[in-house]
Structure 1
């Protein structure tokens, strides 16, 4: 799913109006119809509806929704923010509403704000994607009033005061219970700082032009089933284990062999034909007992270990040592195949960053969480600034940066960049990052391109977590549960591909 900017969304509306053709007011009616249909399905007619409208097109949406809900037997009242400059569509819908027996009140000062009972539903139709600066005066006062109420709040298109392409720390912004938006996500919906404002997001189709969508490029994409189905490659039934590559993992140490076990199991479960784990000699038995399908190596000559390997991952459970720093330096300088750098190896990477753009290929993937990212590239003041820095570094260093989080972000050397859609809070537990590294390395070893391995790997990892959480709860979920459900995740992806 493409994620368009506010400017692109306005152009999409305009293109649809011209191409279909349809009048702007009729397109607004279509949007209002989609919103009122959702409200009728999810809100009881016994509940009181208060629609709060600004003077622009978002307010016009609200007026049309009020009219449709009134006709659907809801008890509706409408409150308008006083303005001397309203949009044409607002005026049309206000005139239409006034032909019905609906209470319409203009708010001049804060003393005019209505009394809100706990059974009331507030529909926020104050301001949409056109907001690009903090709201002030009466509008800001009204938003603070909304946020103090013990009521369900439904924002139309956007929570009022929230910019479509940015994140904010404070100010006058509606804290919605539900946001009813149209066609595709806005960037702002995917930034963690904004989650407090958006509530549950529901995308409604209003028939915007498919031609515009298909022919317009976007800087960001939200990974969905369609994209994953295109990436996923079913197995050739005449294949053998060498068809699916040989992954090499530098993982584990005396006190952290669990990370090596998790990473290795995930790598095998992701489909790698063979997996070798390089560990110290006295740690090999742990691998043999835990994972009889794996191979171990304690070869000290790295170049020999790399022979006939398809992809390498380094980091999970490693000690922070001079020897491992030298190993990472050698990998970055001499190994020209696919490489995943995670965990301890990320803490060793900073002085070696100049090596990255010298690599002949862009099949290097690094997988930091927020803390590791900032240790590598510096502090950031907002989620958006962190994304922008990740994009800049992915481009300048020629690598893929998987910035782990709720909507894990994949910054690529070239656009588009991806937000992942799978996963849950139960995955915020030790070892899940090690499983992700194993999955991605396993996909790389099978011949997936770095971009595809990153996108599919993160999606598969999150989907396995979702399947596990459905079975045992988010609270009880541990990293091993992800590995146990990788197969179920593959089955779900495979079924979608063949539908």
Structure 2
């Protein structure tokens, strides 16, 4: 998995690289600029380029990129915005002088300067980098506003100018470059993974600039981006003499009148993810639906015709899931409360209406077993802890909640965040916008439940389930379209996802 570091830690890694390689800071800047330049040359091999450079090291990168583009005989215009003191950072000053030797034209930006972009010009944004810690103002803000009003393609160096590497506010986003592409050095930034920042970050990728690996390993961080190699190691292998008892007996409580589809989807996903046995507890009127739709599942019938009002004896089950399609009627609330009183230390996953119920009842929180998994989408999470001003605040609240309640949170969305009870947060790279469809969450709950019943620790079950869930959806869109993806497609592509995983 890839570690995500704060801006000050990245500066520490840069320093360690300079000291330990050893390499001069100007040469490290040249190496980073060359990695960026190669990607820009691939993205836009022939179009004219406008380079925006600031006074710091990000501006130094931009000036070096401009020189490389000129050497490639590209048409380049350069706009330099200096600090209020009129100075550049030492390495930016060196690259400024190197650029002067090419006899290019450099425009120093004042408040009244207009760059007058042509429609075919690409923009290289190098105004501010990872060291920014206050909202952009003055000539910088004016320049950013002008760029954002145009339709030109924008490529940002390391991080879009104006965007903080970690948590952002509405205030600083007012003067932030809206990049189409962001090419980050060595590691992704936390800001790239939060929904509010997508219109500023655009499509992002990481380029290797040879930073000190020991310094990266030694840097402590609670944030990680999952990768395929690491997640595949979590998946348990099976041996020839395993049997269905080896892979656990799961209990799923799901469905209500008009929402039996949720029970069907979650049950199918659970079975397709390798559970040994599954019993699904449903309202009485759903019996024929379940028996005909999911013959592999055993069915337990509630005394109520239309909703969940009770639970079976829990002794025989290794893991329990509750929530898909159950509704929030009083009898169901009572049933959930009684289940929590009796669940003890059994593995547990709560989704959908189960989350909505506990958000209204503080008693339920106190009954949650340690390592219980909750799978809220942003709206459900806001009902748990109150509305958040933005995705940054929501993530911070989620980390606090997981630590306070000693639970595992799956905060769903693009780059779904799986947060452990120790506050460590694992962002998931798989999945696509087609998953924003009815029943997708029910499928995820079934997969999580399956892994819990198979004996995976809660954090591993959550991370593996989220990865497989998104991977199955990605495999579908290889031959289809995100618009046509439905929840059943995710289930139908789980077998291919497991094949790819292994």
Does structure 2 conserve the Cα–Cα contact (< 8 Å) formed by 1:337 and 1:363? Answer: no
Q: State the TM-score, normalized to the length of structure 1.
A: 0.95
2:490: which partner in 1? 482
Cα deviation digits, residues 340-399 of structure 1 (max 9, x gap): 11111112113444444555x522011111111111211111111111111111111111
Q: Distance in 2 between matches of 1:432 and 1:295?
A: 22
Q: Distance in 1 between matches of 2:156 and 2:360?
A: 47
1:467: which partner in 2? 475
The residue correspondences of 1:39-438 to structure 2 (distance < 5 A) are 39-45=40-46, 47-83=47-83, 84-110=86-112, 112-169=113-170, 170-298=173-301, 305-335=313-343, 336-357=345-366, 362-438=370-446
Shift of 1:277: 0.3
Secondary structure of 1:457's counterpart equals helix
Q: Distance in 1 between matches of 2:284 and 2:224?
A: 45
Secondary structure of 2:238's counterpart equals coil
Q: Distance in 2 between matches of 1:280 and 1:145?
A: 60
Does structure 2 conserve the Cα–Cα contact (< 8 Å) formed by 1:420 and 1:458? Answer: yes
Does structure 2 conserve the Cα–Cα contact (< 8 Å) formed by 1:247 and 1:310? Answer: yes
Secondary structure of 1:339's counterpart equals strand
Q: 1:334 to 1:65 in 2, by over 3 A?
A: same
- Which 10-residue stretch deviates more, 318-327 or 177-186? 318-327
Shift of 1:407: 1.7
Does structure 1 conserve the Cα–Cα contact (< 8 Å) formed by 2:311 and 2:339? Answer: no
Consecutive unaligned residues of structure 2, counting only runs of 5 or more, are 304-308
Does structure 1 conserve the Cα–Cα contact (< 8 Å) formed by 2:347 and 2:371? Answer: yes
Q: Distance in 1 between matches of 2:31 and 2:69?
A: 14
- Which 10-residue stretch deviates more, 246-255 or 70-79? 70-79
Does structure 2 conserve the Cα–Cα contact (< 8 Å) formed by 1:183 and 1:203? Answer: yes
Does structure 2 conserve the Cα–Cα contact (< 8 Å) formed by 1:299 and 1:305? Answer: no
Secondary structure of 1:180's counterpart equals strand
Secondary structure of 2:256's counterpart equals coil
Shift of 1:326: 2.2
Q: Distance in 1 between matches of 2:102 and 2:320?
A: 69
1:497: which partner in 2? none
Does structure 2 conserve the Cα–Cα contact (< 8 Å) formed by 1:356 and 1:399? Answer: no
- Which 10-residue stretch deviates more, 348-357 or 89-98? 348-357
Q: Does 1:15 align with 2:16?
A: yes
Indicate the RMSD between aligned Cα atoms, in angstroms: 1.6
Q: 1:463 to 1:353 in 2, by over 3 A?
A: farther
2:36: which partner in 1? 35
Shift of 1:469: 1.9
- Which 10-residue stretch deviates more, 401-410 or 324-333? 324-333
Consecutive unaligned residues of structure 1, counting only runs of 5 or more, are 495-499
Does structure 1 conserve the Cα–Cα contact (< 8 Å) formed by 2:400 and 2:423? Answer: no
Shift of 1:109: 3.0
Does structure 2 conserve the Cα–Cα contact (< 8 Å) formed by 1:259 and 1:317? Answer: yes
Q: Distance in 2 between matches of 1:206 and 1:357?
A: 48
